[in-house]
Structure 1
Amino acid sequence: MTAPATKKLLTLSVSAGNGHVRAAQALVATAEQDWPGCSAVHIDAMAHVAAGFRKVYTDWYLHLVNRAPELWSYLHAKTDSTPHSATAQRLRRGIERLSATALLRELRREKPDAIICTHFLPAELLMREKSRGRIGCPVWLQVTDFDLHNMWLVPGMDGYFAATEEVAFRMRARGLPSERIHVTGIPVMPAFAQGSALVRNECVQALGLEPARRVLLLASGGAGVGNMPALVRRLLALTEPDFQLIAVAGRNARALVELEALQREHPQRLRAVGFTQEMHKLMAAADLVMTKPGGLTISECLAVGRPMLLSDPIPGQEEHNAGYLLEEGAAWLAWDAIGLGYKVARLMADAPQLAAMAARSQALGRPRAAHAVLEHVLGSPDAPGA
């Protein structure tokens, strides 16, 4: 019997924030797990562009959202209403093309059978290549938020993946062909597909915490942005109702050192964690997850069915993500540190409210989103040649 031909899948992300990268990695991990005839590769587009362009595109974005959110809010709204045919948009795309010669060379070297972009930048570059007949394989675009911005409206893709029915509705309303739009959710790593199979009490005990007491997970995101130690001190000052904290500093080494010092002061209430590949277990241990409303982080929370207390949304996309969760009853939102402390205490004391939010979260979750995406791109994993 002849072995099925190997298919090569390429996922393309942009490391402006961590969510686009995590979505691409989730697709690769799922393809490797469930499609034995698939060779999957992830490329961060920023690793193959001019250094100056990379610095502006990634560092400038992070600087704006953290230091000048009002300016970012203006730019987000302005670019959402600027047609793709406008001079400013054409100039932007021209600069991107000039900076991405090495990326396009790398793509030709890889010779994939299919490409999935988890950011609009590589999708725009490949749209031009496809229109000139320089790329023959299908190219798909995965939107990684719970809303739709103009920059994601890249014509000519072979398919588009949306987080929700509303995002798909917006895609159709803004001119993308309905037959190419698929509602799959946002890809999360296969570990999150375990969902309810993760036992809360076992995950709590593995951290050396007490299952009988409420647990709050404070997730910073992979970059560890923000003054987490100060926030943890504020939360530890809340003595009623009693609860325990898991604080994830991500890659912020300085914050982790401070959190570990606080853990020594409060060994019965705090667990400090650095960058981790086991966020699914930390979420499973939590009765409430406190996080920024990034598209990937909240998709992970929904996959595990955890209620959320949202804070510090980036103007634009994260505010829209938060709005979706508030509408659906899976989250509360705190606008400042005072409100944060108040809402943490209130939610930790209200088991029925937490249970209702958890139920809504689980109902909204799409833990097998990556699998759903790949079935469109690669076909069923059980099909011959898949």
Structure 2
Amino acid sequence: MTPLLVLSVSAGNGHVRAAQALCAAAQARAPACGAVHIDAMAHMAAGFRKIYTDWYLQLVQRAPDLWSYLHQKTDSTPHSAVSQRLRRGIERASAGALLREVRRVRPAAIVCTHFLPAELLMRERNRGRLDGPVWLQVTDYDLHNMWIVPGLQGYLAATEEVAFRMRARGLPAAHVHVTGIPVMPEFSVPDAPALQREANVRRLGLDPTRRVVLMTAGGAGVGNLAARVAHALALDGPGCDFQVIAVGGRNAATLAALQALQARHPGRLLPVGFTGEMHRLMAAADLVVTKPGGLTIAECLALGKPMLLVSPIPGQEEHNAGFLMEEGAAWLAYDTIGLGYKLAGLMAAPERLAHMALRSRALGRPDAAQCVLDRVLGT
């Protein structure tokens, strides 16, 4: 029997990264623990998988207004509504291979970082076809109705407000726990020597006496990163001689555009493709310019990094941005012009940037993965 199974859904990167963080923390905690991570989409029917993942990415990139409407509509639609019952029926009809895989693994406990597998497994438990507790880890700083899955062993919330919303929507208070959002072990010791700013700036070949701005495109690749970087590098004024680390991820065209920009701005731009060392890039940064995805935010907060937020996906990411701005850890730029204005303003006001960093560190939960394991494994 496997002590812990973690189920994610590869619709965006955040749910997968949270699951990977939990498994990595379990491995670090007890190498013999045997935590297993399964992407539920890898075991769903091919047609369902394509529609579920590709449709989501297409919507948020090409029709954000439609996604915003659907997000709000489903948030207010009761679980008993015909549309919700039909959705769950389609999911069940597509999930045979996934449920067989779960039974094969025979987990002692399950954590879901997405509501879809939690709904499927709760039905299996109610029909006596699955043993063991099922937990649900919410991976944003707000709560949507789809995450309300009654009857689970426990619900793991990013903040006290998310926990409050869970209780207000009818989940039993004794089953709601505030843990934060799990981040990889590399982010869990923010004061470690490997995460010191100056050491990482030098390691990257940058100037430690000049501020560093980290700019990322986000997992869904929304927005034109190269255009944003070009706009940032063209800024003029106090503090605007900053350096930029730009992470293009797996997008070859974006990386090529960044490399062309690097040639025009020698010594000021470091283009990076897909990397497993985001913790070091964040550690080197004085400011992170990013989309407000739940996991990216959790990583920035764990390292105490102030944020300038861009291109939030309507719904969950807009709410994430609102949380950070209320708490004083981030600013939000609505468009490229606003990005330039606010970036220049922050670079010219180091005391404001320092205050945002303090607020970010205060909100951080670098121990979130261990807190989740404490709850789930009862140790």
The code of the aligned residue for 1:336 comes to D
- Per-residue CA deviations over 1:257-297 (Å, capped at 9, x if unaligned) read 11122223223100001111111111110010000000000
Match of 1:194, SS state, is coil
Match of 1:39, SS state, is coil
The equivalent of 1:202 in structure 2 is 199
Match of 1:25, SS state, is helix
Contact 1:263 1:270 (C-alpha < 8 Å) held by counterparts: yes
The equivalent of 2:8 in structure 1 is 13
Over 3 Å counting, the alpha-carbon distance change for 1:120 and 1:377 in structure 2 is same
Contact 1:9 1:40 (C-alpha < 8 Å) held by counterparts: yes
2:252 pairs with 1:253: yes
The equivalent of 2:292 in structure 1 is 293
What does 1:207-226 align with in structure 2 at a 5 Å threshold? 207-226=204-223
Contact 1:223 1:250 (C-alpha < 8 Å) held by counterparts: no
- Looking at structure 1, the residues matched to 126 and 160 of structure 2 have their Cα atoms a distance apart, in angstroms, of 29
1:149 pairs with one of 114, 133, 144? 144
Match of 2:214, SS state, is strand
- Looking at structure 2, the residues matched to 36 and 244 of structure 1 have their Cα atoms a distance apart, in angstroms, of 40
How many residues get paired? 375
The code of the aligned residue for 1:181 comes to V
The code of the aligned residue for 2:233 comes to L
- Per-residue CA deviations over 1:227-250 (Å, capped at 9, x if unaligned) read 111111111111332100000011
The equivalent of 1:63 in structure 2 is 58
Contact 2:2 2:36 (C-alpha < 8 Å) held by counterparts: no
2:19 pairs with 1:24: yes
What does 1:34-113 align with in structure 2 at a 5 Å threshold? 34-113=29-108
The equivalent of 2:119 in structure 1 is 124
The code of the aligned residue for 1:188 comes to V
Match of 2:189, SS state, is helix
Over 3 Å counting, the alpha-carbon distance change for 1:120 and 1:314 in structure 2 is same
Match of 1:154, SS state, is coil
The equivalent of 2:176 in structure 1 is 181
Match of 2:260, SS state, is helix
- Per-residue CA deviations over 1:91-113 (Å, capped at 9, x if unaligned) read 00000000111111111111111
2:233 pairs with 1:236: yes
The equivalent of 1:281 in structure 2 is 280
CA drift of 1:123 comes to 0.4
Structure 2 alignment gaps of length 5 or more? none
The code of the aligned residue for 1:130 comes to R
Tell which deviates more after alignment, 226-235 or 102-111.
226-235
- Looking at structure 1, the residues matched to 286 and 263 of structure 2 have their Cα atoms a distance apart, in angstroms, of 23
Contact 1:81 1:150 (C-alpha < 8 Å) held by counterparts: yes
The code of the aligned residue for 2:375 comes to H
**Matched-pair identity in %:** 72
- Per-residue CA deviations over 1:152-196 (Å, capped at 9, x if unaligned) read 000111010000000000000100011111100000000001213
- Looking at structure 2, the residues matched to 112 and 58 of structure 1 have their Cα atoms a distance apart, in angstroms, of 26
What does 1:258-273 align with in structure 2 at a 5 Å threshold? 258-273=257-272
- Per-residue CA deviations over 1:187-231 (Å, capped at 9, x if unaligned) read 000000121322101111111100100110001124544311111
- Looking at structure 2, the residues matched to 85 and 58 of structure 1 have their Cα atoms a distance apart, in angstroms, of 25
- TM-score using structure 2 length: 0.97
Runs of 4+ in structure 1 over 3 Å off? 222-225
Match of 2:136, SS state, is strand
Match of 1:213, SS state, is coil
CA drift of 1:37 comes to 3.6
Contact 1:224 1:251 (C-alpha < 8 Å) held by counterparts: no
The equivalent of 1:159 in structure 2 is 154
- TM-score using structure 1 length: 0.95
CA drift of 1:7 comes to 4.9
Match of 2:366, SS state, is coil
- Per-residue CA deviations over 1:1-35 (Å, capped at 9, x if unaligned) read xxxxx852111000000000000000000000012
- Per-residue CA deviations over 1:25-70 (Å, capped at 9, x if unaligned) read 0000000001234101111111011111111101100111111111
Match of 1:276, SS state, is coil
- Looking at structure 2, the residues matched to 221 and 311 of structure 1 have their Cα atoms a distance apart, in angstroms, of 10
